Structure 1
Amino acid sequence: MTRTEQSPTAAGSGASATQAFRASQPQGTAESTSPERVSAVVKALLDGVHEAIRTEQVTYTEFQAAKQWLIEVGEGGEWPLLLDVFVEHAVEDVASRTQRGSKGSILGPYYLPDQAKLPAEATLPMRPDEKGTPLVFAGQVRDAAGRPVSGAELDLWHADDEGYYSGFAPHLPEGNLRGVVTADEQGRFEVITIQPAPYQIPTDGPTGKLLEAAGWHPWRPAHLHLIVRAPEHRPITTQLYFEGGQWLDSDVAGATKPELVLNPQPHGDGWLRSEYDFVLEPEN
């Protein structure tokens, strides 16, 4: 199978991301938003669009091109990709202003729920011949007072050594490099996996067309995704990056933060080890 055949398409990734998003949303989320709040947010959004049109003196030709592109985004199922790459980091930044504990980051479009349950010391599910530098990822989950959070869960997933995610690339087995790790009584965990590669978002659809037209690159730096959760605590959704990694300073999704950069150290025989502790605040 060639790399082109392995590569996830924008439409395929969008369909998978849409399905996962719908499955994870509680019923009645939209209905719980008041008309006043809808009016305020939508008006502010439209005011911003109108101001950009006036400032940049957008022509009718450009407006029609934008309309056609938005239609293609919808028809191609790329709204999850587009919103997660270009918008979510701003929403996360606003949310973080009222939160204590560990730094968060975007969820992104490649989360899949209900993965394999694993003990505190575990190896993520992977192929017998999984390529990549072996990585030990370890740490502790504590509460805001510094006490260990017994039995905290770490929902962990990441790309493989070629930048592909299971569930979004046809050649990868289901659940590859995904798992839910349960920390021990002291909130500690130690996970064996591989160091992921940077990857480019799918560029064969309208999102890729926008990147090309704007002269922007499509790359994200290598990272681990995590949702860290425990009863009576606010869950943390975050991403951890790697010091010196390519695209770290120009992430297309704008999601990197200095506090989220790991510094893996040699761990013998070609392995790396990195430690990172999480702090969960009480749930409101």
Structure 2
Amino acid sequence: MTDITEQATAAASGAAATEKFRAKQRAEATDVDTKRVDTLVTELLTAAHDIIRRHKVTYAEYDALKSWLMQVGEDGEWPLFLDVWLEHVVEEVANENREGSKGTIEGPYYVPDSPRLPAEATLPMRDNEAGTPLLFQGQARSVDGTPLAGATVEMWHADDDGFYSQFAPNLPTWNLRGTVVADDKGNFKIHTVQPAPYQIPTDGSCGKLIAAAGWHAWRPAHLHLKVSAPGHQLITTQLYFQGGAHVADDIASAVKPELILDPVPVTDGAGREVTYDFVLDKA
């Protein structure tokens, strides 16, 4: 492993994720429906009360929970905790009526405004970036089959050590992040490297929960994407790799059968390639 492995910490990653989420919330602030808040919070507390009664939770267990919740905040790991264990259900409910491509969770490591690139492009990366070269190509079109000229395909993913730029030290700011603009037929070709599976940070409070529950901390290798076009709904998704480690037991429960890729060797040169189209619902 590189020096990044030795220096990356849950606290640093959590602080970065927290700050980026707060910036997003400031930009997207909306009015709060008090009746909706009352309903959701009351039902959440009622469910917690039921768990306490059914399992006869002791004061020692309650104090351990209180201490752990406080530590989650101090570690800045609420974005990680919520995105790993709750977001997949929110995404499922939010997109249950879509007719087009399947989506899944965004996760805590998205950064907006990545460099804009032409329809065929290579993601920003270091010289001799480790990992198997990967050509990811396809077309963006509407549910009625119309090609979506100029659709934007944002991609970001971990490197071969499992780290994301802007969330681990010593990585270039936009390493393996870019926004590709499709051509007039909605086609795109993105040259990158295949990412590696990785553990979510385990040296913080989420790691303590994982250890205490006897769970594993692994996410399968995946590509993150956001695909958008005027007049259409944004699709946020992750794409996984056939036969990859932890595809069947992703800690974030975000894998769906429709999101599994099966790349093949490129016909001329090194690496692998795969074609995957995005079908967007009308707004």
Interval containing the TM-score (normalised by the shorter chain): over 0.9
Question: Identity of aligned pairs, percent?
Answer: 57
Correspondence for 1:147: 146
- Cα distance in 2, alignment partners of residues 198 and 111 from structure 1: 17
**Distance in 2 (alpha carbons) for counterparts of 1:270 and 1:227:** 27
Shift of 1:29: 3.1
Q: Which residue of 2 aligns with 1:29?
A: 29
Task: Report matched runs for 1:68-79 at 5 Å.
Answer: 68-79=67-78
CA distance in 1 between counterparts of 2:141 and 2:110 reads 24
Question: Within 2, Cα distance between the matches of 1:166 and 1:65?
Answer: 34
How far apart, in 1, do the equivalents of 2:244 and 2:28 lie? 41
Q: Retained in 1: the 8 A contact 2:5–2:161?
A: no
Distance apart, 1:3 and its partner CA: 5.3
- Gaps (5+ residues) in structure 2? none
| Match in the other structure for 2:270 | 270
Conserved in 2, the CA contact under 8 Å of 1:20 and 1:113? Answer: no
What SS class does the counterpart of residue 25 from structure 1 fall into?
Answer: helix
SS in 2 for 1:156: strand
1:133-212, aligned counterparts within 5 Å?
Answer: 133-212=132-211
1:83 maps to what in 2?
A: 82
Which residue in 1 is equivalent to 2:3? 2
Number of aligned residue pairs: give it: 281
Cα distance in 2 for residues equivalent to 1:189 and 1:139: 6
TM-score after normalising by structure 1: 0.96
* Secondary structure of 2:150 counterpart: coil
**Quick check: 15-24 or 172-181, which moved more?**
15-24
Distance in 2 (alpha carbons) for counterparts of 1:14 and 1:278: 31
Mapped contact 2:18–2:79 kept (Cα < 8 A): yes
Aligned to 2:13: 13
The list of structure 1 runs, each at least 4 consecutive aligned residues, that deviate by more than 4 angstroms after superposition, is: none
The alpha-carbon deviation at position 171 of structure 1 amounts to 1.9
TM-align CA RMSD: 1.3
What is the DSSP-based 3-state SS (H/G/I as helix, E as strand, rest coil) of the residue aligned with 2:129? coil
Q: Contact 1:158/1:223 (CA < 8 Å) preserved in 2?
A: yes
So what's the TM-score if we normalise by structure 2?
0.96
Q: In the TM superposition, what is the alpha-carbon distance from 1:44 to its structure 2 partner?
A: 1.3
What residue ranges of structure 1 are gaps of 5+ in the alignment?
none
CA distance in structure 2 between the partners assigned to 1:16 and 1:28 by the alignment: 18
Q: How many angstroms apart in 2 are the aligned matches of 1:103 and 1:208?
A: 30
